[in-house]
């Protein structure tokens, strides 16, 4: 299991904003940032 990281609110906002880019998939974002899809979905629900 990986080590747990604390992400700043700014980092989370930037990651969620990437979801609005046309043609970008969740898989691409999570791979690029090294985060899980579940975390990204949770951030999206909390920040929107």
- Angstrom distance (rounded) from CA 1 to CA 18: 26
pLDDT of 14 reads 97
pLDDT at 43: 98
Return the pLDDT at 48: 83
pLDDT of residue 1: 62
- CA dist 11 and 23 (Å) reads 21
From CA 22, how far away is CA 1, in angstroms rounded? 32
Pairwise CA distance, residues 16 & 43, whole Å: 7
Number of domains in the chain: 1
Whether 25 maps to a domain, the answer reads: yes
- Does 22 fall in a domain? yes
Q: Which domain holds residue 17?
A: 9-47
User: pLDDT digit of tens for each residue in the chain (48 aa)?
Assistant: 677 889 999 999 999 999 999 999 999 999 999 999 999 999 999 998
């Amino acid at each position: 299991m990986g080590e747990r990281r604390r992400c700043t609110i700014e980092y989370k906002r930037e990651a969620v904003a990437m979801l609005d880019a046309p043609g970008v998939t969740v898989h691409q974002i999570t791979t690029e940032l090294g985060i899980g899809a579940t975390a990204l979905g949770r951030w999206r629900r909390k920040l929107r």
